[in-house]
Amino acid sequence: MKKEKGFAVLLKKNDNLLEFKINPKIYTLNAIYKTAYFFLDKVYIFLDGDPKKEIKVTMKSKSGMGELEKVASEFYNELLNQLLREKVSYTNAKVREFIVAKALYNAVPNEVDELLKEVEEEDWQEDPLGIAKTWEEQQAEKGEKSKKSKKSRPSLTPSLKLRSTKKLRPMKKKGKK
């Protein structure tokens, strides 16, 4: 029994077996695989033919209840659905890749982030070498230090004191007595 049904040609063999053909120039082989996968739980499907010219789909009912024509019609609808998915997937491929790459990049801490974290954790305000101080501040500190050092210098021994005082005394001329 040959039945023209819109774009599909249904070749009904018997109640439990149905054959129809798909134009691979309209529907890609990948879309046909995915559509067939969608119906695997309802019917047995076998593909044959030439992927460049015509693909023959054979459907066999699992329950033996018939209704294969209805399943075949749904098969065509699902084919369109898969074809659309394929096209949307193709057009959005770059955006999708970008989103995934960004998500992965953010999920994995990289070396730069670790170094930045280390730097942030360090107490940079300590400034042990005094690099952050201005010249004036450094000079003022030096002045204070020198004053302190003079004040806090340990008291000179008596002999040294004598020497120092001697130096200050005017020299006596040897010839005068």
Partner 1 sequence: METIDFNKKIYCIDNIKKTAEEFKNLSDISVKEIGGKIKVTFDKIDPEYKDVIKDEFANFVLGLMG
Residues near partner 1, by CB under 8 A: 29, 33-34, 36-37, 40, 44-51, 55, 60
Give min distance, CB of 24 to partner 1, in A.
10
Give min distance, CB of 3 to partner 1, in A.
23
Q: Which is nearer to partner 1, 11 or 47 (CB)?
A: 47
SS (HEC) of the chain: CEEEECCEEEEEEECCEEEEEECCCCCCHHHHHHHHHHCCCCEEEEEEEECCCEEEEEEEECCCCCCHHHHHHHHHHHHHHHHHHHHHHHHCHHHHHHHHHHHHHHHCCCHHHHHHHHHHHCCCCCCCCCCCCCHHHHHHHHHHHHHHHHHHCCCCCHHHHHHHHHHHCCCCCCCCC
Q: Which is nearer to partner 1, 12 or 60 (CB)?
A: 60
Give min distance, CB of 60 to partner 1, in A.
6
Give min distance, CB of 38 to partner 1, in A.
8
Q: Which is nearer to partner 1, 54 or 113 (CB)?
A: 54
Q: How many CB atoms lie within 10 A of CB 61?
A: 18
Give min distance, CB of 94 to partner 1, in A.
25
Q: Which is nearer to partner 1, 87 or 161 (CB)?
A: 87
Q: Which is nearer to partner 1, 65 or 119 (CB)?
A: 65
